[in-house]
Structure 1
Amino acid sequence: MNILIKSAKIIAPKKSYNQQTKDILIIDGTITKIEDQIETSEQVTEISLDNLHVSDGWFDSSVCFGEPGYEDRETIENGLDTAAFSGYTAVAVNPNTHPVADTNADIGFIKSKGASKAASLYPIAALTTKSDGVDLAELFDMKNAGAVAFGDYQKPIANPNLLKIALQYTQNFNGLVLSFPMENKVIGKGVVNEGVLSTRLGLKGIPALSEELQIVRDLFILEYTGGKLHIPTISTKLSVDLIKKAKEKGLDVSCSVALANLVLNENELEDFDTNYKVLPPLRTEEDRKALVEGVKKGVIDFVTSDHNPIDIENKNIEFDHALFGTIGLEASFGLLLQQFPLETVIKTLTSGKERFGITDTSIEVGNKANITLFDPEPNYKFDKSDILSLSTNCAFTGKEIKGKVYGVISNNLIQLKTL
């Protein structure tokens, strides 16, 4: 496919053409010219949009699509369409399917279902068989089948020796181990952040201690074993400090924060709306501000939507029994622009590929086109009509957001809302 992008302002922090307005010519999926004005005799699809900005394609390190097993929540096809229309050219997909993605055949199936789409799918394989936390799964085989990391989604590694063995074993093939930061014996049946609010609402609490204890343990094990550790979706001020100190010691650790924890706090729970029941739980405003600072200072490596579609039968019920999770792909860009300058947002959204062993492609002549298109200026309220997922469990409905995503050009495909 041949494409001519007209008058696009390129946002590429610390890279070529940053803040420059250019025409970009793409022939058969490859960028062939970047100039002030391009005239071509080629048969092209011309893209000229209001206040058009472009950047390298965005990456989300934690999304859930349900398929196989939970197609009523989300399918791989619609999930990847949602990602592309939300500006993402690559997503790492969690193994919380039915059956759990814990064999090379499972990884092959997921990759095949995600082929030939504008947004690329990269499977995260289960760390343990059936994600039950007892025996390591077929990690090397799944790596060869295309898995980019190993972790049991929102399930902590209870056995410290299992984490030790996983970190040692994966060093043989440069594997990335994910360890969800939660100590189950501390949280019990908790459903929200433990504190004054949880007591007043009569809801069982999840103390910050449960996260911080697990992180301390995991960092001690990492220091002993070596290897590559990623701690997904941290949520407390002390967690940021612990990871900062670990990085200063030279440990090979990275971490992410979920969009909900970055932009919302526990006060959203006043009306017992189960859309705000997420894991880790929404914390205090002090914690939220510390997470924002952690992103600004680079302690937190990347922000994830932690997109997790849940069917209405498991959300529109009593708070204690509702499942954890919110969708977030559609609102990510607009909510991040409310918190950070544009260049910081783009740097955040384009980070993480290298950590997961995914090739990063920048806007340069000769590179394959892997481009997100957007307008950073519009202000509006996110509502149900903006939801593209099959499930509508969204913690961000009614929130003020800034910026509009047009879509992506990637894998020699155009996927734009306006075309």
Structure 2
Amino acid sequence: MNITETKNVAFYTLGCKLNFSETSTIARSFENEGFNRVDFSEKADVYVINTCSVTENADKRFKTIVKQAQKSNADAFVIAIGCYAQLKPEELADVNGVDLVLGATEKFNITDYLNDLTKNDFGEVHSCEISEADFYVGSYSIGDRTRAFLKVQDGCDYKCTYCTIPLARGISRSDTLENVLQNAADISAQGIKEIVLTGVNIGDYGKGEFGNKRHEHTFLDLVEALDKVEGIERLRISSIEPNLLKDETIDFVSKSRTFVPHFHIPLQSGSNHLLKLMRRRYMRELYQERVKKIKQTMPDACIGVDVIVGFPGETDERFLETYNFLADLDISYLHVFTYSERANTPADKMDGVVPQNVRKKRSKMLRGLSVKKRRAFYERQLGNTLEVLFEGENKEGYIHGFTENYVKVKMPWNPTYVNTLHLVKLTEIDEDGLVRFEFVNEK
């Protein structure tokens, strides 16, 4: 690529940790081509927006972000990549200011498309049939946060009736164990203390490339091998399906050197009727068992839950089933998603559509329950001595950090603590819901 002067590139990431890891890897490919990375709020020659399609809101935000880029530099070359770019490339190409849209396989070759940065009258589309996304590209994020997101798996073979991800990312496929360990070692060499494992369905780890469904290694093999990587202080499992979180993994995490007692397990509904309509691969009883097993093995473990409200067929009774099920479970917080209709999904054609105002009200109820759950979990941690990893951002005069079991703490800003680990005793919950502490025999 012949670019005589150094060009600036900026990135904006919508959606999940997996997107963040891929943005970071794509950014490094730009740096290798001589680009200088700047913040998205600054003037750049190229703006790359990594899109998400999980909710309608993520779709709408795309236009706002394009406008933001144009405000910084009306002549900038604007590129859309990611899930929404794969699902609806023409729609994104039609957005005023967008020059290039790259699908699931093309996004990792993004710099090949940059020989000419002249603005296009119309967005140019390069996308594939999703069946062609049958190879694996590893990625990890570095430099954006104290923690690194390490991608170990991509795509999904599950057919949940509300989800577009298999259409946007293709079949389930995994990185080789050797490559994951090499990436983890690279992250460790940068002085990063914590790695979060990420993917679309990481419990399915082991499926090979090109639709080869034979598992070379299992998820348990992966965590056992990663536990031995030198220099990494903490490993965190980001999100894992309840039916794929096995007893052996829970037992291993409880005794592990680096894996922390924090699990994020999607539930989606506490109603077995709705779980069947969603085509989830478990019933609520299995979910209950997973929570019980974790708490028996690690009483102080933090458990986060994904839940969808307003799915077609969610009557008042079925919503209350979910609410009461969650209220009785020993969990720590909720991620609440309001169901939004997605084209080309079976749920989009289902009966029993829940009115928007009812979805909103139910969402508010579950968010309120999440606040109570988090508070109760934090209260049970007071008096405990835990290890905190401090983050890198000055937030209104405070530095924040997380304990191994994901309790968020704060103290007055002090840059010398960034990316360092300290033993602390949790003392009280502040009015903002975060926890204050005192240091224990400083390391």
Q: Radius of gyration: which is bigger?
A: 2
Q: Considering the TM-score relative to the shorter chain, is it more than 0.5?
A: no
Higher RCO structure, 1 or 2 (CA under 8 Å, sep 6+) = 1
Which band: TM-score by shorter chain? 0.3 to 0.5
